[in-house]
């Protein structure tokens, strides 16, 4: 299923109408649409999910620049900075910044029906370019994190989690995937005769540390599902309080960063 982020000015009635029609089209095309108005922005700090995070997970961003609203340009900047596929709906006679001229655009002056048709055609043309431009093997992903961190940032969390899961299988572990609606605090389980291990994967920004709450949640899962241990893997680091909490439960919790993952991939670390 494609994740499509549509950004527009909520005071622009035509843009709102286009968005509603796109939402209806998305239901029939196995596409999940979100907008800036479904989410909170960066503040408050405890926002469930920011527009930035939605854009990061999107495979395509549609920016409707009927009125060049600040929020649309901000979202567009995020998308371009992350190398996302973009379709721009704008007045072809307007003075767009020169670096937007190369983006595939649809003429905003057209009737709504024609705009929708042109967007559908544009999406089809982008079918190849919106395929992931990142590797699928964990070893290569980890190398990418060091050599091209901006590309690593574009890897969806679900894809990174799948790579970690596959690596455990490749290393000889019996991996059991879980239904996220039925499990709490972990992503997959390692079946072992000596007791199961729960694994939780957190792909986050390099400067974003994992808090004590995530560690406590995993420990809760260990007890709730009668596991012997939990491993919390992150792509950044852990807060001091998170590490301190884990140190009080050394027989139940392991905290891994990408350094530990690299050792695991190369057979230098086992569990």
Using the predicted structure, report yes or no on whether residue 95 has a pLDDT greater than 50.
Answer: yes
Whole-number pLDDT of residue 134: 65
Whole-number pLDDT of residue 222: 95
Distance CA 190, CA 181 (A): 18
Q: In the chain, which residues fall in CATH 3.40.50.450?
A: 2-125
Considering the domain 2-125, what is its CATH architecture? 3-Layer(aba) Sandwich (3.40)
User: Stretch 151-170: mean pLDDT, rounded?
Assistant: 87
Distance CA 127, CA 237 (A): 35
Tokens at 188, concatenated:
């997959």
Whole-number pLDDT of residue 30: 56
Fold entry, domain 138-265? Trna Endonuclease; Chain: A, domain 1 (3.40.1350)
CA-based end-to-end distance of the chain = 35
Distance CA 18, CA 7 (A): 11
CA distances for 70 relative to 5, 63, 161, angstroms: 16, 12, 34
Of 116, 121, 82, the closest CA to residue 104 belongs to 121
User: Stretch 4-18: mean pLDDT, rounded?
Assistant: 87
- Would the pTM count as exceeding 0.75? no
Residues 222, 252 contacting (CB under 8 angstroms):
yes
pLDDT over 90, % of the chain: 35
**50 vs 14, higher pLDDT:** 14
Q: Could you read off the pLDDT of 33-54 as tens digits, one per residue? A: 777 766 443 334 444 456 777 7
pLDDT over 70, % of the chain: 82
User: Stretch 72-91: mean pLDDT, rounded?
Assistant: 83
**164 vs 32, higher pLDDT:** 164
DSSP 67-87: S--HHHHHHHHHHHHTT-EEE
User: Stretch 145-172: mean pLDDT, rounded?
Assistant: 87
> Within 13 Å of residue 244, how many CA atoms lie on the same side as its CB?
5
Cα–chain center distance at 177: 19
User: Stretch 154-169: mean pLDDT, rounded?
Assistant: 88
Whole-number pLDDT of residue 119: 86
User: Stretch 88-106: mean pLDDT, rounded?
Assistant: 73
Q: In the chain, which residues fall in CATH 3.40.1350.10?
A: 138-265
């Amino acid at each position: 299923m494609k994740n499509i982020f549509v950004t527009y000015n909520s005071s622009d009635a035509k843009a709102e109408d286009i968005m509603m029609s796109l939402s209806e089209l998305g239901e029939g095309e196995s596409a999940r649409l979100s907008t800036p108005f479904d989410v909170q922005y960066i503040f408050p700090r405890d926002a469930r999910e920011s527009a930035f995070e939605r854009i990061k997970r999107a495979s395509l961003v549609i920016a409707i620049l009927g009125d060049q609203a600040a929020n649309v340009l901000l979202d567009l900047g995020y998308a371009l900075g992350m190398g996302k596929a973009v379709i721009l709906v704008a007045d072809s006679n307007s003075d767009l910044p020169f670096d937007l001229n190369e983006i595939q655009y649809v003429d905003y002056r057209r009737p709504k029906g024609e705009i929708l048709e042109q967007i559908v055609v544009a999406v089809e043309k982008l079918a190849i370019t919106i395929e992931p431009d990142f590797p699928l093997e964990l070893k290569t992903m980890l190398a990418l994190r060091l050599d091209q961190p901006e590309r690593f940032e574009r890897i969806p969390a679900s894809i990174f989690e799948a790579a970690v899961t596959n690596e455990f299988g490749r290393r000889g572990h019996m991996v059991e995937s879980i239904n996220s609606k039925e499990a709490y605090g972990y992503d997959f389980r390692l079946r072992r005769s000596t007791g199961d291990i729960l694994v939780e994967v957190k792909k986050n920004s390099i400067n974003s540390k994992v808090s004590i709450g995530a560690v406590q949640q995993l420990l809760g899962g260990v007890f709730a599902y009668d596991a012997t241990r939990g491993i919390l893997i992150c792509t950044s680091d852990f807060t001091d309080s998170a590490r301190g909490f884990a140190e009080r439960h050394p027989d139940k919790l392991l905290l891994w960063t990408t350094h530990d993952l690299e050792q695991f991939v190369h057979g230098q670390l086992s569990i």
